[in-house]
Copies of this chain bind each other. A is one copy, B any other.
Amino acid sequence: MRQRNARHEAIREIVRSRYIHTQRDLVEELATRGFVCTQATISRDISDMGLRKLTEGVYILAEDVHLQRIVSDLVLDVVLANNLVVVKTETGSAQAVAAALDAADLPLLLGSIAGDDTILIIAQDEERAKAFKAAVNKLKVQ
């Protein structure tokens, strides 16, 4: 019964790393990590942790809802140029998106400059720029 905290931690890690559509998915994923429990327990965990199921049918951490919505609603495209990432947004939205990205702990970026509909992000190297692009695209559910 002292599983609970560790299980919650595992759930956080799971929903961030893959798309979980149903509570049964989560039961199975947890089982592979040694956390055996029923759907009823997961239902309560989800309630306790404040997990949300997006309109797109995927569970997400409460703290990620804001960033996910901003990105889904306002980001149009993400392109790379070596270690630079260029994010195109809806007109007038670049500042809002940049603020949300900065506030998130995507620990990959050195800094960013936001104009009207474009954000320029400087990453340490090309690899991290790619990782950042992938992270943003993962947020664009729908």
Interface residues of A (CB under 8 A from B): 52-55, 65-66, 69-70, 72-74, 90-93, 95-96, 98-99, 114, 116
Contacts and interface: CB of A to CB of B under 8 A. Distances in A.
Contact of A93 (B65, B72, B91, B95): B95
A117 to B, nearest CB: 10
Contact of A73 (B55, B69, B114): B69
Contacts of A99: 90-93
A114 B95 contact: no
Contacts of A72: 69
Contacts of A92: 95-96, 98-99, 114
Contacts of A65: 55
A93 B70 CA distance: 11
Contacts of A114: 92
